[in-house]
A and B are shown apart, each in its own frame.
Chain A
Amino acid sequence: MANFISLAEVTCKFGDQACPFPAPGAGIFEWRAITSLNLGITSIDITKPVILALLCTVIVSVVFLAAFARPKLVPTGLQNVVEVGYLFVRDNIAREIMGKDGDRFVPLLTSLFFFVWTMNVMAIIPVAQFPVSSRFAFPVVLALIVWLLYMFLGMKNQGVVGYFKNIAFPPGMPIGIYPLLTPIELLSTIIIRPVTLAIRLFANMFAGHLLITVFTVSAWYLLNLTNFVGFVSVIGYLGSIVSFFVTIVLTGFEMFIQALQAFIFTLLTAVFISSSLHAEH
């Protein structure tokens, strides 16, 4: 209990010698299990990120099913809004990267984009206030699915040998460069692609949440009335106000990053799938 960082339990205040600034660390991403479901092979801890992940699943599914249950030729209300999102993924991601081929992958890309985005947005939803995608497991799972898909599509469309040959020896290069290029290409396509895909999303959301938390805690910590009066407490107040406004600005910035990271994740997925459909020329 003593190690919780929460507004209710932080008693430390600016100026208290025995109580330095309780800087938030990796601990704010660790959650207690409310309960644990034993499934025999493995047990599932029901934690806040797990609940939020399931909530995201419900939100995305329900919104899409409700919006497109009986779609009208002239869209109104919810259909209008969700349609804009759907068309964004279809036109600006799928068709932009893959052309007409991309239409097959629109359901996958739409699911990815809106799942990732909703998980990211949880960071600024009151009470939730935690980006689900800052738990490494979720980006890892999605990146793994993307990796399996584009490896499979590559081998299916270019042949097992042909696919790896096309990765290792991109055509149109002078022969002398292959000793240098081949290991880089193999490493890049097979290992670095999925790893960076997962880490990019995770790290962005992790850092964003950490930043917001640091300034939130600092706004509380610097709000000191009891230990000092006069000049020092004025500095504390000023610091608190600045931290508070920085928190608000960062929250706005995070809203942008959340959408951007979801977009990048989906865009890169489309790029990887596209490179598996056709060998590079």
Chain B
Amino acid sequence: MNWILAAEGTGGNSNVLLPPTYELVIGTIAFFTIFFLLSKFALPNIKKTLEARTESIEGGIAKAEKMQQEASITLAQYRQQLSDARSEAAKIRTAAESERTNLISEARNEAQAVAQTVTQQANAQIEAEKSKAVNELRLDVSKLAIDLASKIVGASLQDDARAKAVIDQFIKDLESAGGKR
């Protein structure tokens, strides 16, 4: 185990500033071994991985930015659609309102027209009934008067033209008397 311990004065070369050849050789071999293994095998791997990592991070950021942009565009679209829908609803409501007013006034006009027609028809009918009744009454009255006169006079005046004229005169007087009253 002596080699584990430093030895003073062993070996011919005790000047620390004069390196022995074998150590120079070992040092050179040692460094170039490390340099070869690291530069050929270890470091290219990690370089590639770090580049891939940077790429994926940058890619992720770009993707996120793109998505955000898309989201804000979609939001604007939705807002536009919403306000469109609102104005359309308002338009529809206004249209419905005016249509309702139109319908009501139309119905009212129609109803008024129908009522007028009905009134006119009723009036005409009443008038017709009235004139019919007057005519019938007139006949009845003349007949009654003749009957009465016949009874009074005691003679039939039925076919007598003169009698007819008298009766007509009588009725006329009646009418004018009724009109005066």
* A contact set with B: CB distance below 8 Å: 3-6, 25-34, 42-45, 47-50, 53-54, 56-57, 60-61, 64-65, 67-73, 79, 83, 86-87, 106-108, 110-112, 114-115, 127, 130, 135-138, 140-142, 145, 206
Contacts and interface: CB of A to CB of B under 8 A. Distances in A.
Contacts of A67: 42, 46
Given A4-B8, A53-B30, A65 B41 contact: yes
A156 to B, nearest CB: 19
A86 B46 contact: yes
B52 A64 contact: no
Interface string B10-34: 1100101111111111111111011
B4 interface: yes
Contacts of A34: 3
A87 B49 CA distance: 12
B19 A30 contact: no
A108 B36 CA distance: 9
Secondary structure at the A interface, as helix, strand, loop or mixed, is helix
11 contacts: A3-B7, A26-B16, A27-B8, A31-B3, A42-B25, A68-B42, A69-B42, A111-B39, A136-B16, A136-B17, A141-B31
Contacts, number: 163
B30 A57 contact: yes
With a 10 A CB-CB cut-off, give which of B2, B19, B27 has the most chain A CB atoms.
B27
A26 B6 CA distance: 10
B156 to A, nearest CB: 142
Contacts of B111: none
A42 B9 contact: no
Given A69-B45, A111-B38, A135-B19, A53 B27 contact: yes
